[in-house]
Structure 1
Amino acid sequence: MTRLTEEARGVYVIAVTPFAEDGALDLQSIDKMVDFYLEAGATGLTALGMMGEAPKLTGAESLQVVKRILARLDGRIPMVVGVSAPGFAQMAELTRASMDLGAGGVMIAPPGSLKTDEQVVNYYRQAAEFIGNVPFVLQDFPLATGVHIPVSAIARIVEEVPTCVCLKHEDWPGLEKITALRAAGTLNRRISILCGNGGVFLPEEMDRGADGAMTGFCYPEMMRDIVHHCSKGEGDRARDLFNAYLPLARYEQQPGLGLAVRKYVLAKRGVIASAALRRPGAGLTQAAQQEVDMLLARQEQRLKELD
Structure 2
Amino acid sequence: MTHFEGVYVAMVTPFTDAYEVDYKRLRELCDRLISGGVDGLVPTGSLGEYATLSGEERAKVVETVIEAAAGRVPVVVGTAAPSTEQAVGWVRHAKAAGAAGVMALPPINYKPLRHEVIAHFEALSEVGLPIVAYNNPHDYKVDLTPDFLAELSRIENIVAVKEFSGDIRRIHDILEKTGLEVMVGVDDLAMEGPLFGATGWISGVPNALPQEGAQLFRLAREGRLKEALPLYRRLLPLFHYDASPQLVQSIKYMMELSGFPVGPTRPPRLPLPAADYEAIKQAFEYAAVSRI
- Structure 1 length as normaliser, TM-score? 0.88
C-alpha displacement of 1:99:
1.6
| Residue in structure 1 matching 2:280, options 285, 288, 292 | 292
Name the stretch that deviates more: 200-209 or 49-58.
200-209
Asked if structure 2 preserves the Cα contact closer than 8 Å seen for 1:32 and 1:272, the reply is no
Q: Which residue of the partner structure matches residue 267 of structure 1?
A: 256
* Alignment of 1:80 onto 2:76: yes
Cα distance in 1 between the residues matched to 2:16 and 2:41? 22
Matched, 1:58 2:54: yes
How big is the alpha-carbon RMSD for the aligned residues of Structure 1 and Structure 2? 1.9
Counterparts in 2 of 1:136-147, with a 5 A limit? 136-147=131-142
**Match of 1:270, SS?**
coil
Q: Which residue of 148, 151, 160 maps to 1:156?
A: 151
- Report the secondary structure of 1:214's partner residue: strand
Residue of structure 2 aligned with 1:277, choices 261, 265, 269: 265
Which residue pairs with 2:66 in the alignment? 70
Q: Deviations over 1:94-119 (max 9, x none)?
A: 22222212111111101243444443
Alpha-carbon spacing, 1:117–1:7, altered in 2? closer, same or farther (3 Å):
same
Q: Which amino acid aligns with 2:72?
A: R
Q: 1:202 aligns with which of 177, 190, 193?
A: 190
Give, in angstroms, the shift of residue 146 of structure 1: 2.2
SS of the aligned residue for 2:203 comes to coil
The answer as to whether partners of 2:107 and 2:120 remain within 8 angstroms in 1 is no
1:243 has 2:233 as partner = yes
2:82–2:107 contact (8 Å) kept in structure 1:
yes
Q: Report sequence identity in percent.
A: 24
What amino acid does structure 1 have at the position aligned with 2:233? N
Rg larger in 1 or in 2? 1
**Post-superposition shift, 1:192?**
1.7
Moved more, 29-38 or 107-116: 107-116
* Alignment gaps of 5+ in structure 1: none
Contact 2:8 2:201 in 1 (8 A): yes
Confirm or deny: 8 A CA contact 1:29 1:272 kept in the other structure: no
CA offsets per residue over residues 19-62 of structure 1, 9 Å max, x none? 11111111111011111111221110001001110000011000
TM-score by length of 2: 0.92
In structure 2, C-alpha distance between the alignment counterparts of 1:298 and 1:267, rounded to whole Å: 16
**Matching residue of 1:177:** 170
What is the alpha-carbon distance in structure 2 between the residues aligned to residue 68 and residue 233 of structure 1?
A: 36
SS class of match (1:81): strand
Compared CA separation, residues 181 and 289, structure 1 to 2 (3 A)? closer
In the alignment, is residue 128 of structure 1 matched against residue 117 of structure 2?
no
Alpha-carbon distance change, 295 to 177 in structure 1, aligned in 2, over 3 angstroms: closer
1:202-250 residue CA offsets vs partner (Å, 9 max, x unmatched): 2211122101201211323332122111222201211111001112222
SS in structure 2 at match of 1:253: helix
Higher alpha-carbon deviation: 106-115 or 141-150: 106-115
Q: 1:221 — aligned with what?
A: 211
Contact 1:143–1:172 (8 Å) recurs in 2: no
Contact 2:134 2:161 in 1 (8 A): yes
* CA shift for structure 1 position 254: 5.9
Q: Indicate conservation of the 8 Å contact 1:23/1:278, yes or no.
A: yes
